[in-house]
Structure 1
């Protein structure tokens, strides 16, 4: 569990910057493309120790990044296509090398592809800790240290590379530094979660945090926490169902992302639906007030019941809810089976109708729009014009007494 937490946290730290740079697939590319570097390092040294593996991975990762950038910048290959070409070619080379040398050198293919979290407690130890836990902890501290020391540079180059270069922070160097960190983190995660599942650890916690916060600092913190929670949940679920721990950790991360998609305060589906309902109710409340005001203005003897009013403004059941809200707030009341404005509601309706007619007048006098084209724009914007804007409109108009249709503009 601790190994899963440290791996997820290390991946989340660099994954946030991959998300911000719109380079999510680069994590996938590097996680596959470092495979030949690992095999070559293993073939040359005959050791799976930390240093040669990291060196091989970093070289392969930088080579992948360089070739991707070269194809994109000099050969005009689209960035996504260049990434796909390079990482599939590198991964294919890695697979060939694994097949060629794995039998004689005992290279663990299952470890590379699927990880081996289940066997972490039984492996060799470094400084009293299981080797995989020690390695992932070192990489976590490395990523954290780099983020602390180069926070401003990494942030600026992620949001505005041109400005970063202008201010003396080489966006290109920051890009390659990030690729080095991703490569090192990927290698450190191989033995724990495998080359395939590490992609999810790089992207999913960071993507989930991005849905929950628009501040980079909070996004990084949340991504680490989400990765840790996914590790704990995945371990429990894998224990219960007796299945792959690393795979179930990825499933847990996906479930957390799905929850964020639903309940994210700003971008969640439920939040969006609630915002749309609130906006619809606001518009319908205003429409009811404006309709009753115009009926009073015309001194019409026709009275509207709740059902008739709801049908007149449209909106179905939302219209009935909006009428109930207006009654509860004291803006309208029911008398003899019909709705009428209270003094409070009449004042609110007056301001609304004034906004509508001032905007219609502005569109005709200042923009030259024909009369039959001004009602709908005014109806849409009337809900957002406050008294200050009303006074500015009135000051710019030649007359603020009547609208283009000859109706009195309330004062």
Structure 2
């Protein structure tokens, strides 16, 4: 693909402006759990756009804006009315409204196409590739830009102004509508403001990326940003940046990627490829996000399993010392795999962690706890036996039914909880099986055969 800055630069700039403008209302729609309302409005504005064409006979943006604004607000009002008075679930109400208005819009657009310079495919799929060819003069002829740029810039500035001016109110209404009402903020007004700017943004972007693909700009960049951060200001900034990157990658990929697979295809729709790149970036964030990504979640789960298995090894070695029994490293691994029902990889990682931390010497002939390891092992065993005593005394579980529960609970028990368990079990010195409960200093009752009264 040949690269021309005067053409390709404008295509990317227009796509970035559209994505930037959509990301602002899209983020608040996502936080309110109303992302599909953006989908509904982007479809429902079609009859308003078509009526604007039919009334004016031109593609004047004012008529388009007014018609689409009325249609978008009508969609929002009808959806809320059906939900409240028709006793329909939110999704069902939106589905009824936007499919009906979308179908009506398609019929009107087909009728308008014969009277106005209007291509239905342009409305649905966008025509960002042609936008740099339709230039207008701005600032009294000092600058020539594509006709879509002033519209998108104005829409972006309007969205920025609304978000900055109403940031606190929109934030509270998005996270906690009840608190918003208690604070004197009318959540319904904030909702209507959000619906208005969403409808207006759909109108501003529909000719660039199409009425259908604008949904990707409203939903995917905010959803991707939400995977990367839990702070609203950061999510807003990231959503805008992701939209800009999506625009660049989409235009570049539209002329390059198809040729990698089919030599007879030179390029595809830029707006369509922008949506594909948005999905690609979302998948990357979903997999690689440092906090919510699949990889990090798998790593955290593995670390948790290894930590629990390492604590089980320490408890096992402590009990071996109680019985004055010697085990080799291989025997410890086999006993751990059987007792904790874990795989060999997890068992080896747990034992490697114990060696690395210096908690025990795991040799081929014998295994011994270090001083630090014995302190940790004492805490694990004390937690386990206190839980057994508590379950036996307070919950009245049979003595032969408490071990499995105690095996799980011992790994989430801190010093404060151990003290509380000791108090609630009247500082008993043995568990239901007659085994001594180590005290907080690491010492156990020397008479392990004593029984519980």
Shift of residue 368, structure 1, vs aligned partner: 2.8
**Map of 1:304 onto structure 2:** 327
Correspondence 1:11-410 to 2 at 5 A: 11-127=22-138, 128=143, 129-241=145-257, 242-300=267-325, 303-314=326-337, 315=342, 316-335=344-363, 337-410=365-438
* Contact 2:328–2:363 (Cα < 8 Å) also in 1: no
Q: Give the whole-Å Cα distance in 2 for the aligned partners of 1:75 and 1:31.
A: 23
TM-score, reference length from structure 2: 0.87
- C-alpha distance in 2 between matches for 1:335 and 1:229: 54
Report deviation, 1:90.
0.3
* Larger helix proportion of the pair: 1
Partners of 2:110 and 2:120 within 8 A in 1: no
Aligned residues: 409
User: Within 1, Cα distance between the matches of 2:181 and 2:352?
Assistant: 58
Kept in 1: contact 2:329–2:364 (CA 8 A):
no
Matched residue SS, 1:116: coil
Alpha-carbon distance in structure 2 between the residues aligned to 1:143 and 1:361: 62
CA contact (8 A) 2:328 2:364 kept: no
Q: Secondary structure at the match of 1:125?
A: strand
Q: Deviation per CA, 1:18-67, whole angstroms, max 9, x where unpaired?
A: 11111121111111110000111111122222221111111000111111
Q: Deviations over 1:50-108 (max 9, x none)?
A: 22111111100011111111111001012111111110110111111112221122222
- Asked whether the equivalents of residues 34 and 58 of structure 1 are also in contact (C-alpha less than 8 Å), the reply is yes
> How far off its partner does 1:148 sit?
0.4
Alpha-carbon distance in 2 for matches of 1:410, 1:161? 51
Instruction: Answer with 257-266 or 278-287: which moved more.
Output: 257-266
* Preserved CA contact (<8 Å) 1:38 1:53: yes
**1:335 Cα offset (Å):** 4.3
TM-score by length of 1: 0.96
Q: Please tell me whether the aligned partners of residues 306 and 320 of structure 1 are also in contact (alpha carbons under 8 angstroms).
A: no
The CA deviation at 1:126 is: 4.8
* Alignment RMSD: 1.4
Distance 2:30 2:334 in 1: 47
Q: Residues 123 and 207 of structure 2 are in contact (CA less than 8 Å); yes or no, is this contact kept in structure 1?
A: yes
Q: Any runs of at least 4 consecutive aligned residues in structure 1 with deviations exceeding 6 A, and if so which?
A: none
| Structure 1 residue ranges without an equivalent (≥5) | none
